[in-house]
Amino acid sequence: MADKISIGELHLSGCTGCLVTIADNYEGLFKLLDDYADLVYALTLVDVRHVPEMDVCLVEGSCCLNDELSVEELKEARAKSKVLVAYGACAAYGNITRFCRGGQWNQPAHESFVPISEVVDVDLYIPSCPPCPQQVRNVAVMAYLLLKGNDEQKQLATAYLTPLMQLAQRGNEACGCDLMYDVINQGLCMGCGTCAGTCPVRAVTMEYGKPNVNRDQCIKCGACYSQCPRSWFNFDVMNNYEGIMGAIKGAMQ
């Protein structure tokens, strides 16, 4: 028990898909909770009313500036957690809440929604809508190794988490356009099809080997860009894919 890390999920303006995604690890979630992490705060899953101290706080949803409680809870979570994660596209990039214009039941005045990094400092991004259960699992295992592991494990976890931390530094706007700006315009795209394969709303198609983004369909989740092998690629981690996949699989057994 003492060796576990504590994880919480703060739910702001999101659809709860990210929370469901945690549960989508199925028996893996029980393994995580048995051996690696205590879930200390989460809507419906944990009966705790006020944000507690925790090692890792996953924040789901964007922050509604017209909702005092949201802003306060986000600030409190930042103050009380060692690592704050923008969990999912709404928290990281705004996602569909970027398109809000208020006037909805039952709080018509709620109309200003921002990615959480506009309110507090964020340590790490897990983009996509929703993020994949396997990615949350990997981050949870790596966070455990980072906080409780030996030197070698800490080194591995740092190398693994670095690009996700760099995404948090990169900014809080992302959409299919990033493929154009930061990959194609930069002469980096080689037409592998990852972006089109990863898009959750099928807004990306491949035209003559290069991505074409339907902007009306794009929800600004950042999945295409962060999954693209030419947005970032860390050889030290990826060359050891067999070892890392094996280690995570081993940790989950």
Radius of gyration of the chain (CA): 18
Q: Of the candidates 86, 124, 141, 196, which one interacts with other proteins according to CB under 8 A? A: 196
What is the distance between the alpha carbons of residues 203 and 11, in angstroms, rounded to a whole number? 27
Alpha-carbon distance values, 214 to 90, 146, 222, 241 (Å)? 20, 39, 14, 33
194 part of the interface to other proteins, by CB under 8 A? yes
**Quick check: 223 binds other proteins (CB under 8 A)?**
yes
Among residue numbers 137 through 156, which ones bind other proteins (CB under 8 A)?
138
Residue with Cβ nearer other proteins (27 or 242): 242
Residue pair 183/230 in contact by the 8 Å Cβ criterion: yes
> φ, ψ for residue 137 (rounded to 5)?
-60, -50
134 forms part of the interface with other proteins (CB under 8 A): yes
Choose the stretch contacting other proteins; rule: CB under 8 A; options: 49-57, 108-116, 188-196, 212-220. Answer: 188-196
Q: How many residues bind other proteins (CB under 8 A)?
A: 56
On whether the CB atoms of residues 58 and 103 are closer than 8 A, the answer is no
Q: Cβ–Cβ contacts within 10 Å for residue 124, how many?
A: 22
Residue matched to tokens 């739910």: 11
* CA–CA distance, 67 with 249 (Å, rounded to integer): 41
Instruction: Name the residue among 239, 84, 244, 36 with its Cα closest to residue 152.
Output: 244
Q: Which of 6, 128 has the CB closer to other proteins?
A: 128
Q: How far is the CB of 222 from other proteins (least distance, A)?
A: 8
CB of 225 to other proteins, least distance (A): 8
Q: Does residue 190 touch other proteins according to CB under 8 A?
A: yes
Which CB, 108 or 193, lies closer to other proteins? 193
* Single residue of 90, 145, 157, 189 touching other proteins by CB under 8 A: 189
* Sole window of 7-15, 40-48, 75-83, 195-203 interacting with other proteins (rule: CB under 8 A): 195-203
Pattern of binders to other proteins over 43-72, x per CB under 8 A?
------------------------------
DSSP 3-state assignment of 159? helix
DSSP string for residues in 126-186: E-SSSPPHHHHHHHHHHHHHHHHS-HHHHHHHHHHHHHHHHHHHH-S---THHIIIIIITT
86 vs 242: CA distance, rounded Å: 28
Of 34-42, 51-59, 114-122, 163-171: span binding other proteins (CB under 8 A): 163-171
Residues 100-129 that bind other proteins (CB under 8 A): 126-128
Identify any residues that bridge with 227 across adjacent strands, giving them in sequence order.
none
Residues contributing to the site for other proteins (CB under 8 A): 126-128, 131-135, 138, 160, 163-164, 166-167, 170, 182, 186-194, 196-200, 206, 208-210, 221, 223-235, 237-239, 241-242, 244-245, 249
